Structure 1
Amino acid sequence: MDTRLIEHILKIAEEKSITKAAEKLYLTQSALNQQLLHLEHELGTTLFNRSKTNWGPTKAGEIYLEGAREMLRVKQQTYSRISDLTNGYKGTIRVGMTPVRGPDMFIHVYPAFHKEYPNIEVIPYEMNVFQMQKLVSIGDLDLGFMTLFESQRDDNEYQNLYREEILIAAPESWDFGDQVIRKEGCRQALPLQALKDRPMILLRKKTTMRPILDKLFRTRKVVPQILFDTANPATILEMVRAEICCGIIAESTVCGFDQGIRYYSLDKPLHWNVAASYAKGSFVSRATQCFIDYAKKYWLEKTKEK
Structure 2
Amino acid sequence: MEIRPFLYVNQIAECGSMTKAAAALFITQPALSNYISKLEEELGVRLFDRSVTPLRLTYAGERYLAYTRRILMQVGDLEREMRDISRNQRGRIRLGFPGERMICMLPVLLPAFQEKYPGIRIETENGSAEQLVRALREGDVDFVFLPMWEKHRGISHQKIAEEELILVARKGYLPEDALTNPEKRIFNRERLGDFPLLTLHRGHALRSRIDLLMKELGIQPDIFLESHSNMLSCRLAAQGSGVALVPEISLRMLAEDGKTEWYNLGETPVTWDVNILWREDAYLGEAEKDLIAMAEALFGGNAAP
Structure 1, residues 170-227: CA drift from partner, whole Å, max 9, x if none? Answer: 4453334386179xxx9835233x1332232122223112133234324533232332
Q: Which residue of 2 aligns with 1:13?
A: 13
**8 A Cα contact 1:191 1:267, kept in partner:** no
- Which secondary structure does the structure 1 equivalent of 2:284 belong to? coil
CA distance in 1, matches of 2:188, 2:263: 10
Find the counterpart in structure 2 of residue 271 from structure 1.
271
**Residue number in structure 2 paired with 1:102:** 102
Counterpart position of 2:158: 159
Range moving further from structure 2, 73-82 or 285-294: 285-294
Whether contact under 8 Å (1:95, 1:123) holds in the other structure is: yes
1:180 is paired with a residue of what secondary structure?
Answer: strand
Distance 1:219 1:272 in 2: 15
Per-residue displacement from partner, 1:123-181 (whole Å, max 9, x unpaired)?
2122211111011112222111222x24x442211111111122233445333438617
Residue identity in the other structure for 2:189: P
Question: Kindly tell me: are residues 178 and 250 of structure 1, through their superposed partners in 2, closer, same or farther at Cα, counting changes over 3 Å?
Answer: closer
Report the equivalent of 2:196.
199
- The answer to whether the Cα contact below 8 Å between 2:169 and 2:242 also exists between their aligned partners in 1 is yes
Q: Is the 1:187–1:265 Cα contact (8 Å) retained in structure 2?
A: no
Which consecutive unaligned segments of at least 5 residues does structure 1 have?
none
Q: How many residues align?
A: 299
Give 3-state SS (helix, strand or coil) of 1:290's partner: helix
Aligned residue in 2 for 1:137 = 137
In the alignment, residue 160 of structure 2 is paired with which amino acid?
L
Q: How much is the aligned-residue C-alpha RMSD, in angstroms?
A: 2.8
TM-score (norm 2): 0.85
AA in 2 matched with 1:191? R
Matches of 2:285 and 2:166, distance apart in 1: 36
Shift of 1:237: 2.8
1:59 alignment partner in structure 2: 59
**Any gaps of 5 or more consecutive residues in structure 2?**
none
TM alignment of 1:123-272, pairs within 5 A: 123-147=123-147, 149-150=148-149, 152-155=150-153, 156-173=155-172, 174-177=174-177, 180=180, 188-192=186-190, 194-255=191-252, 256=254, 259=258, 260-266=260-266, 269-272=269-272
Could you tell me whether the CA contact under 8 Å between 1:169 and 1:264 is conserved in 2? no
**1:4 equivalent in structure 2:** 4
- Cα separation, partners in 2 of 1:179 and 1:143, compared to 1, 3 Å: closer
| Aligned equivalent of 2:68 | 68
Identical aligned residues as a percent: 24
CA shift in 2, pair 1:176/1:61, >3 Å? same
Does residue 77 of the first structure (1) align with residue 74 of the second (2)?
no
1:2 Cα deviation from its structure 2 partner: 4.1
CA apart distance, 1:36: 1.0
Report the TM-score, using the length of structure 1 for normalisation: 0.85
134-143 vs 257-266, which deviates more?
257-266
